Amino acid sequence: MLSGIMDSLKGLSVQELDDVIAAAEREKQAKREAARRALLEEVRIKAEALGLSLDSLLQEARRGGPPPPSGRTPVRAKYRHPETGETWSGRGTAPAWLQRVEATGRSREEFAVAG
């Protein structure tokens, strides 16, 4: 298909090629916009099925995650794995990665977050 299109372009002037390029860009933009609208509608329908609004989902995405449970604020990370970036607040059971390094004789303070 593409080779046939390319063959038909060979006989066109520079101005005609510019016109074809401009028309193709308009068509590409129209298809991209139609796909964007379809995606938004699909997400809106799925959100409504879960009792959510599209606006609340978008706000959550901008914040980087769901809001903390009512009346509670997230606890700052106290320890961070240097390679994976996994964190632990120091509350509750230590995560497996920290338990493994402590089992090798290393101190959890080596992974303390500065600040």
pLDDT, tens digit (0-9, with 9 covering 90-100), for 41-56: 998 899 889 888 878 7
Topology adopted by domain 79-111: H-NS DNA Binding Protein (4.10.430)
Model pTM score: 0.46
Query: What pLDDT is recorded for position 99?
Result: 93
Q: φ, ψ for residue 50 (rounded to 5)? A: -95, 5
Query: Could you report the per-residue pLDDT of 50-106, keeping only the tens digit for each?
Result: 888 878 777 777 777 766 667 677 788 999 988 888 899 999 999 999 999 999 999
DSSP secondary structure of 51-81: T--HHHHHHHHHHTSPPPPTT--PPPP-EE-
What residue type is 72 in one-letter code? R
Question: Where in the chain are the domains?
Answer: 2-63, 79-111
Q: What is the mean pLDDT of the chain?
A: 88
DSSP code for 110: G
Residue 70 token pair: 């009512």
